[in-house]
Chains A and B, each alone.
Chain A
Amino acid sequence: MVTVEIPADMELVYKRPQSLTETHTHYCPGCTHGIIHRLIAEVIDELGIRERTIGIAPVGCSVLAYYYFNMDFAEAAHGRAPAMATGIKRVSPDRVVFTYQGDGDLAAIGTAEIIQAANRGELFTTIFVNNAIYGMTGGQMAPTTLPGQVTTSSPTGRDVETAGFPMKMAELLAVLPGAAYVTRQAVFDPRGIHRTRAAIKLAFQTQLAELGFSLVEVLSTCNTNWHMGVVEALEWAKKHMVAYYPLGDTKVSDGVRALMETR
């Protein structure tokens, strides 16, 4: 740990949240996983719940998230984080539980688990990182890959005739009565990052108030597997991803609305 004296005429305005470890991440330069990790950590610090939070890492690029979060963590099988979270939360109802999942994990192999957990109104929070591709396995088509988008397993672009249309998970989950708060945000610019942070905070507050299942879909980039520069990837995402995946809340239950009004 590096310790720095803060001169008397200066104020500390930015520091590593206590909920993050000092470990360097393995994420590619430009990847937005790091930003999203930090936002979650800031919210957990702010809510003062680090010592009673249990996180669940998925199979995907964020499989090693437990090295970066400074709290109890489990690593789930591919797609099964919501089932694991259910098991933990049901036997530890006074703990805070969250899953962190990619789009292959949540919207392909783990579709049943996320839908059923949301429908049961499980009292955990899911942070769903949608980067429109399978990052970890080297850039194959995801259920969220955009029409026409080229990946290693859709070399001529996603053909919706054979591969179907990209899944809009935030909309799909919103129709389930057990889901109290579902929203889609993006971390492509400071404004979006700020909004994503507020959404993550509300999602955890939804859990703390035991209002039902909460999920924040975060539109993200994968410049490496998109074969783009960092800035180019952010611009592409802003233009194409946001057009297909509209930002904003898809579900705000009455309880969550009341919570928003008291904030």
Chain B
Amino acid sequence: MAKELLEGNAAIAEAAIRAGLEAYFGYPITPQTEVLEHLARRLPEEGRVFLQAESEVASINMVYGAACAGARVMTSSSSPGISLMQEGLSYIACSEVPAVVINIMRGGPGLGNVAPSQGDYFQAVKMAGHGDFHPIVLAPGNIQEAIDLVVLAFDLAEKYRTIAMVVADGSLGQMMEPAELPPMRPVRPPAERPPWALTGARGRQPNIITSLYLEPEVLEEVNLRLQAKLQEIAANEVRWKEYSSEDADLLLVAFGTVGRVCQTAVREARRQGLKVGLLRPITLWPFPSARLAELAGQVRGMLVVEMNAGQMVEDVRLAVEGRCPVRFYGRLGGIIPLPDEILPELERLDKEC
């Protein structure tokens, strides 16, 4: 298939259709409404399910239901809407049903604004809901990667029976660039739904999907099983990209759109004679900690750049364990940091480390 000029949100929506999405439940919120609008038009065309829910609380519980029934299902929202989904996400995680959630992040806290932000890093990575769990968190840096990661999200969600969340800031949702959509996968017929799904107990014992375990010993066992699964994911699914890191003695760490800005900063810094490299985590959970630890032995210092007050920087510091200084630069309120702001920070890092 050839490249075409695609808008981020529409590309994400169409990628989900190509990946075999059977049902979508969502509620409008800027800057991701185009995901919902695209699916409102396209899913009925394909004979699949689209439903505009009454709220994000309802959306996520509709997703929970459809996932329990064994269908490929997704919802999308932006920051405040994801906050409303957190109880449902926790139930889904404990019940071990697969679900894909898109968060096109906007400025916060509160109603904030509709400008691009990465303020929901902690929420996605550390505390997507109450209790002990992590969704798989995928952070695309451009529209092609967003398309590819949406397809991957469905595969990972089903493989591990977990939540796969794709997080991108609003600018990625709204921008246009050339990208290639994958071919259309056939939709899995209802007769081939997984054996654990709620399809009616025909000729078998009933299936029960619950997140309630009243006996502490039993709930501990459930948690240990969840943790073992998370460890398996952490061992197998870490993804990141490096730019000019081979000979770098200073390292930028940034995800999503900021990673892209940092690529420009790397080029400009190198023109000034600074040996700067970049690591861009693609999975925010699991986090590329081992690779960062390795690089900490190679570089003099790291600079983490984010569109928040310093969230991923904590994970970088945990990975580096003091082996090199880790500095932070961030912009808030929906402002994208520019290479011109990042360069002086790199110069300072160069002088001080």
Contact = CB atoms under 8 A, between A and B. Distances in A.
B210 interface: yes
Interface in B192-223: 198-203, 206-212
Contacts of B63: 87
B61 A77 contact: yes
B128 to A, nearest CB: 15
A112 interface: yes
Nearest to B22: A91
A88 interface: yes
Interface string A77-88: 100100111111
A77 B91 contact: yes
A83 to B, nearest CB: 4
A112 B206 contact: no
Interface stretch (B65-73, B115-123, B178-186, B328-336): B65-73
Interface in A44-103: 50-54, 56-57, 63-64, 66, 69-77, 80, 83-92, 95-96
A249 interface: no
B49 interface: yes
Contact of B210 (A52, A74, A96): A74
A75 B25 contact: no
A91 B58 contact: no
A77 B65 contact: no
A159 interface: no
Contacts of B208: 66, 72-75
A113 interface: yes
A56 B65 CA distance: 9
A92 B88 contact: no
Contacts of A113: 54, 57-58, 61
| Chain B contact surface mostly | mixed
Contacts of A83: 53, 57-59, 61-62, 64-65
Contacts of A51: 200-203
B51 interface: yes
B66 A90 contact: yes
B205 to A, nearest CB: 9
Given A83-B53, A91-B69, A64 B212 contact: yes
Contacts of A225: none
Given A87-B61, A91-B69, A73 B198 contact: yes
A116 interface: yes
Given A54-B69, A71-B200, A112 B61 contact: no
B64 A87 contact: yes
B54 A72 contact: no
B199 A86 contact: no
A75 B209 contact: yes
Interface string A3-25: 00000000000000000000000
B112 interface: no
A73 B206 contact: yes
B36 interface: no
A231 to B, nearest CB: 31
- In this complex, the member of A74, A87, A88, A92 whose beta carbon has the largest number of chain B beta carbons within 10 angstroms is A87
Interface in B209-243: 209-212
B252 interface: no
B51 A86 contact: yes
A145 B199 CA distance: 37
Contacts of B54: 112-113, 116
B322 to A, nearest CB: 42
B113 interface: no
- In this complex, the member of B59, B65, B209 whose beta carbon has the largest number of chain A beta carbons within 10 angstroms is B65
B154 to A, nearest CB: 15
A65 to B, nearest CB: 10
Contacts of B59: 83
Contacts of A73: 198, 206-210
Interface of A: 50-54, 56-57, 63-64, 66, 69-77, 80, 83-92, 95-96, 112-113, 116
Interface of B: 22-23, 25, 49, 51, 53-55, 57-59, 61-71, 73, 87-88, 91, 190, 198-203, 206-212
Sorted nearest first, the 7 A-B pairs with minimum C-beta distance are: A87-B65, A83-B61, A84-B65, A87-B62, A87-B66, A52-B200, A75-B210
Given A52-B200, A91-B66, 5 more contacts: A52-B202, A53-B200, A72-B201, A86-B65, A113-B61
14 contacts: A51-B203, A66-B208, A72-B207, A73-B206, A75-B212, A76-B64, A83-B57, A86-B25, A86-B51, A87-B25, A87-B69, A90-B62, A90-B66, A92-B69
